A and B are shown apart, each in its own frame.
Chain A
């Protein structure tokens, strides 16, 4: 009897300890690469190497003083912003149409829209490079332009937005939409004033996910950019081959921070909406 009781008391402690250990492992596993990069970015030395003998901000100064690196960052941000706009607008409209209207071969179409997500970046990058290699618009080469990279990145971002928004639109109470029509708002007005605010968390998440996807993307950008339009990941890869300075770690930290900032915005917005919709 006492034996059973003792064991009963023992088991939860064991489980709790295991659970805690597992959580520590997961957190460490996820965060260590980022933390190591963060630490390395403050290294005073000229090479990425442990142990760190002296600390400084000199590589941050170096990064922001170099036009090559700031241009790459600028390129990355412009392309990511463009990708976010293109894929959010098209993804949301497609998802709304998909949710609202009878469309033939809906399931097949859904798979088709999702297909680019599963395509290797090399395949898409190479395909786009070959397709648009010689195309000029108004005397400007499409190949190597930021616009082409935005379109390429949207191939990945748009399906994601579509998937997210399709699920979000399903939660919309259609009576509320009807109420808007009923009170005299036409479909466009209703979409902008009623539907979009109801799914604002989804819209913000979509835009930021698209932004992050584009920011992180490397393979297609490598295929499609030239010296003037190369993105930060592309420049990092190129410079890693010539000189592995802590400047690379600085670039990594900047990319990682941008991603964290996007996630933080999503969280804040979500909490804000939750507070608005739930009873105080």
Chain B
């Protein structure tokens, strides 16, 4: 167990006053694993990261790095390195001095220190920037220096605190790819905090979806996407349509009791339930023919999204939207069929 984990959280708990920010979180990161904490703001993901880094104190539980308990140590005694959202570079130090800082604190002496600075800057492709000050760098370059600064000290675990969220979209995608490439190359262990599911899916070995201080599900990205463990995970990951339905004695109605033309392969549980479908999996009009689950609905309005047309449909109080490449040949007000396969649907009570 000691050798198998880079980091281990055991029933970690952190409260701020009466608010439980991190609630009974257990998690282990294998060496070389890239684990993402994904969740909405306030879900406790950043607090969890700060507990690991030592910037918050634990109220209960244990944190181990390579099998040794570290939760009683101050941040400067922990073998972690954080890449902050803002980069948090030292403004009065040059790029090389920024990267050198952690090495100096770890008493890495001259020839080796210089070599490791050179390596780190090469890894993030910033050779030739040694003597620049942070103010002379672009946002993306700053984050690459922050990455080099953390990589140079070769910590047991790298902690990423939403490092890309302050950057614009194209830069975000580019750096995301670069972090992924670095991880494939260097096999560092990492915890990555983000609220961007694209980032989480693209980079992670495993994703932990967090909500209200708890981990709702932790698994490989494909498993999370295709087999969400619960309603929260389903709605948080990817887009989804929710149909709040009610099954009476004989027919299916909306919550107002109005009957809807809904045909399902498997019957719903009696009473109220919520039926979720991914809009990208919905088939419209003629394409819906022959699918086991169908709803007949009126086209409410149509959005043009570039690649796609998004059809907003209504059946009683039920609303769904479906994407279709190009127009389907029906206009607003038309009554059409929407269909989907049973595996693309989830029912929660």
Residues of chain A whose beta carbon lies under 8 Å from any beta carbon of chain B: 173, 175-176, 178-187, 189-190, 193-194, 197-198, 200, 276-280
Among A175, A186, A187, A277, the residue within 8 A (CB) of B88 is A175
Complex contacts, A187 vs chain B, CB 8 Å: 76
- Whether B135 lies near A182 (C-beta < 8 A) is no
Residues of A within 8 A of B74 (CB): 181, 186
Contacts of A194 in B (CB 8 A): 90
On whether A198 and B91 interact (CB within 8 A), knowing A185-B105, A277-B135, the answer reads: yes
Contact of B82 among A182, A198, A200 (CB under 8 A): A182
**CB-CB nearest in chain B for A197:** B92
**Is A180 a contact of B135 with CB atoms below 8 Å?**
no
New A-B pairs, 19, CB < 8 Å, besides A181-B54, A185-B101, A198-B90 = A173-B86, A176-B88, A176-B90, A178-B53, A178-B55, A178-B84, A179-B89, A179-B90, A182-B75, A183-B149, A184-B76, A184-B105, A184-B106, A186-B74, A190-B76, A198-B91, A277-B92, A277-B133, A280-B136
Q: Is chain A's binding surface mostly helix, strand, loop or mixed?
A: helix
Nearest residue in A to B91 (C-beta to C-beta)?
A277
Known: A183-B153, A198-B91. A276 touches B86 (CB 8 A): no
Chain A residues whose C-beta falls within 8 Å of the C-beta of B91 in the assembled complex = 176, 198, 276-277
Closest residue to B138 on the A side, CB-wise?
A279
Knowing A173-B86, A173-B88, A178-B75, the reply to whether A184 touches B102 (Cβ < 8 A) is: yes
The residue of chain A having its C-beta at the shortest distance from the C-beta of B81 within the complex is: A182
Query: In the bound complex, how far is the Cα of B91 from the Cα of A193, in angstroms?
Result: 12
**How would residues 107 to 129 of chain B score, 1 for a CB under 8 Å from any chain A CB and 0 otherwise?**
00000000000000000000000
A-B contact pairs, 15 of them (CB 8 A): A175-B85, A178-B53, A178-B75, A179-B82, A180-B90, A181-B76, A182-B76, A183-B81, A183-B101, A183-B105, A186-B76, A198-B90, A276-B91, A276-B133, A279-B136
Check B136–A198 contact: CB distance below 8 A: no
Distance, CA A187 to CA B74, complexed state (A): 10
Chain A: which residue is nearest B149 at the CB level? Answer: A183
